[in-house]
Structure 1
Amino acid sequence: MISVQNHQLRLSGNKIALAVALALSLASCTTKKIGVLRSPSQRGEQGAASNNSGITTAEQAEEAKKLEAAKASENLKSQKSIALLLPFQLNHIAGMQPTAEDIKRSALALDFYQGFQLGLEELGEKGSKFNLQVIDSEDDNYRNTSLATSSSVKNANLIVGPIYPKEIRAFSRAIQDKNTLQISPLAATLASEFEVSNLVSLTPSIRVHSELMAKYVAKQFTLGDVVLVYDIQDADSKQFLDSFMSEALGYNKDLQIKVVNSIAELNDNLVATGNNHIVCGTTNRNQIRTLLANMDVQTTEFGYGFKLYGHPNWAKLSFEDYMYMDRYELTLTTSTLVDERAEKTRKFDYNYKTKFQVAASDFSYKGYDAAIYFGGLLSKYGTDYVQYLVKESYSGISNDFSFDYFPKWGYVNRGIRFIVYRNNSFVRK
């Protein structure tokens, strides 16, 4: 069961209708209620009961109200409280007719919330009880500073959000309870930049991607191979490749590895005896095109063998025009990968579309995975769930969770998936 204070969000059809319903339901930091409603007729029958004891109808009504309040209080104690802080930014909606810009502004928060809600409802069907407080963080520093000291946050067993880096910093500085976990569901900022001991970063940073790719490449190396780190020294290359060589050598000290900065230098260091493992960190399409064209020439004219590894953002690019891509086995890391054919994905998509009349987005999947994992831990272990964060991993619809803990930085997710390019698309390796 999910208990949230306010009216249930019945979302119909299009994004405008969703935002209107959202504005009505979540105005000024409130939340919605989903749960079992008692029949109004029961109260009427109580009021009409015979009064042989001499107690007045008013006194009976007052006693009934106190009893119901006591039951509600006891029920609330058995529930696990979750504060969900998302930037709906309802304060920017003028009147009751949101604009297209209003819809766009709140879409990310709304999608994440709806996915999160479905996750908790699924757990609720198995007997878990949650008191969900849905709060509009408004993407405002002052607002987040104020929310950090609110009763909804103080009483929470788990805090999900806020999501933007500036919100996280403002909220973290003001919050007093450093033992309750604060989940950062979307920000890919390095956890070391926040330095919040109770922060849980769900999105792996580019450094995590680089470290795990270095380990992977080191394992692919065999005698006669060479690893060439192609670094054109742009911003993306610096982020992805900065410590790649040292990380790879840490996993395999016998690696033959070298950093090259140009196509000419790369060609000078190719080997014919084994595979040339090319690691590239740029996302500049012209540079990638030049690299691939050179590899095609070296393959077709000189017979060199290549294995190619790229920046995670290469997953957004199209390689349909390159006829030798399958031969290069292009491998990437990703923190999100949805298998649309999987049973759990199809079940979620159906439930989401049925309930909200819109298709799920990437943020919907992220919200669902966060709810299932953290809600599951909270339900299973109660307030002791924190210690199990580094012990229990999770593979969801979109995300994998596997956490390391750093006393100064908090919990860092290392749940990375590897994908390989085959037949004009990326598939899980």
Structure 2
Amino acid sequence: MTSVRNHRPPLSGNKWFIFVLAALILGACSPKVRTVPSSTVKTTTENPVTKPVKPAEKPPVKTPEAKASVISLILPFGLDHAAGGQRYTAAKLKMANMSVEYYQGFKLALDSLTANGSNYKLQIFDSKDDAAQAHSLGLNPQVKNSEIIVGPVFPDDVKAFTAMLTSARKPIVSPLSPAAPATFKNQNLVTMTPPLEYHAMGAATFIAKSIKPKKVFILNSGFSAEKLYTSPFKRTLDSLSKRKIQVVNITVVRGNLTPLAAQLSNKDQNIFLVPSTKQAFLMVTLKSLDTLSKKFPVTLFGHPNWEKYTFLKAALLQRLNTHITSTDKVNYKSAETNTFLRSYRRTYHAEPTDYAIKGFDQGLYFGKLLADGENMNKPDLQDFTGLHNSFHFIKKPGLGWINTHVDILRYQNFDLKKVE
């Protein structure tokens, strides 16, 4: 996925969820309380019986509690809309639900680590999806002194927030946005969702190493925005193949692919890349490509956003042997996923959304790093396989750490399956 705002509908549109958020937040860092029974005084008229005095036993040595690691979570709850006389718009309520769901998944991960002896202090802050509020939080001493800061979520808020935290300090996690790190230019940033260029690089790597074609045809619509995908794609393909794979760029007009016929193979797979996200262009071009596939073997690679486009029919994409890159595939048959589902349902009496699963993965990852005393300033962070996506980070000077892991998915049996 490459868009935070266009995920599947959130868990619930009910406003009551926001009113219980305060109670949830209060429980985020509740101390463990040990109840000590009070002594009782007995009266008696009998003469006391002298008993031999035993030497006083030494009290058991109390194991010191692990120092609490401080984590600040900054999400757009928009709690001011829950005040008396205020109300949420549909968009703001969707944003608030997303925040609650991510928070619940994140806290569930920390709770599971706490059961094994770890200790955390989770601080919750409301960014309100407001750049001025994010700017203000960047000056908050409680936030600045955290071991890890998770949030804000949206690019404008991240930019305003990170502008206040430019010196060498603890990591600032961008949890959901796929915006390019160059947008923010902050050495402390940890980008969890791979930006578009890493999707392009992942597709090119798969083609060069697994398919090894002689040519790749790029079908362009003519919009310059497509270069954000095609430029890193071609650069990676040229590098891995040492320019032995020819890249043919074509601007397609009204779906006319006839000029390509002379360059296509009747035996080998003809590899096409279509980087467009424009509905009108895709409908016409993919229909023409479908016609072409009746005479020539076709394998198609598409933009990662295609996964959420309902106008693209699975039957057509399957006929074209379509592949896309993704960071959002959950294996609901795995034992780990089912353990999480049972725990989430038992704790929150609700079904987890993608945001809850992402929150759980990221809470587990950073919670473990803190519990293990990991040096967060070293060049390479540990790899991690989560329920929703895996993490493989690279560090770039001035841009921080970037998760580069993407999966290759292919349409099979009218569904997207991970290519092993």
TM-score, normalised on structure 2?
0.83
Change (3 A) 1:338 1:376: same
1:238 Cα offset (Å): 3.0
> For each residue in 1:117-161, what CA deviation from the matched residue of structure 2 results, as whole angstroms up to 9, or x when unmatched?
011111112221111111112222232222223232132111111
1:188 counterpart SS class: coil
Cα distance in 2, alignment partners of residues 400 and 17 from structure 1: 33
Aligned residues: 382
Matched to 1:339, the amino acid is N
Change (3 A) 1:166 1:321: closer
Which residue does 2:265 correspond to in 1?
Answer: 271
Cα distance in 1, alignment partners of residues 373 and 385 from structure 2: 19
2:30 counterpart SS class: coil
Change (3 A) 1:21 1:220: same
Change (3 A) 1:294 1:144: closer
1:411 counterpart SS class: strand
1:24-423 alignment runs, 5 A limit:
32-39=28-35, 42=37, 45=38, 75=65, 78-95=67-84, 99=88, 101=90, 103-175=93-165, 178-222=168-212, 225-234=214-223, 237-252=226-241, 253-262=243-252, 263-300=257-294, 303-317=295-309, 323=315, 325-382=317-374, 384-387=375-378, 390-423=380-413
Matched to 2:19, the amino acid is V
1:328 Cα offset (Å): 3.4
Change (3 A) 1:407 1:320: closer
Q: What is the root-mean-square deviation of aligned Cα atoms in Å?
A: 2.8
- Please list every run of 5 or more consecutive structure 2 residues that lacks an aligned counterpart in the other structure: 1-11, 42-61
Change (3 A) 1:322 1:266: farther
> For each residue in 1:288-336, what CA deviation from the matched residue of structure 2 results, as whole angstroms up to 9, or x when unmatched?
2323322332232xx3111111000111235885656445321110111
Cα distance in 2, alignment partners of residues 78 and 109 from structure 1: 27
> For each residue in 1:347-394, what CA deviation from the matched residue of structure 2 results, as whole angstroms up to 9, or x when unmatched?
212211221122111110110010111111111125x2442x724211
Q: In the alignment, is the contact (CA less than 8 A) between 1:119 and 1:369 conserved in 2?
A: yes
Change (3 A) 1:171 1:319: closer
Q: In the alignment, is the contact (CA less than 8 A) between 2:172 and 2:189 conserved in 1?
A: yes
1:255 Cα offset (Å): 0.5
Matched to 1:34, the amino acid is S
1:273 Cα offset (Å): 4.4
Change (3 A) 1:222 1:175: closer
Q: Structure 1 or 2: larger helix share?
A: 1
Cα distance in 2, alignment partners of residues 321 and 313 from structure 1: 14
1:216 Cα offset (Å): 1.5
1:20 Cα offset (Å): 0.9
Cα distance in 1, alignment partners of residues 232 and 111 from structure 2: 43
Matched to 1:19, the amino acid is I
2:163 counterpart SS class: helix
Q: In the alignment, is the contact (CA less than 8 A) between 1:161 and 1:185 conserved in 2?
A: yes
> For each residue in 1:64-113, what CA deviation from the matched residue of structure 2 results, as whole angstroms up to 9, or x when unmatched?
xxxxxxx9xx85x7111111111111122222986574633411111110
Cα distance in 1, alignment partners of residues 352 and 269 from structure 2: 42
Which residue does 2:20 correspond to in 1?
Answer: 21
2:405 counterpart SS class: coil
2:97 counterpart SS class: helix
Cα distance in 2, alignment partners of residues 320 and 208 from structure 1: 23
Change (3 A) 1:245 1:175: closer
Identity, % of aligned positions? 25
2:15 counterpart SS class: helix
Q: In the alignment, is the contact (CA less than 8 A) between 1:20 and 1:96 conserved in 2?
A: no
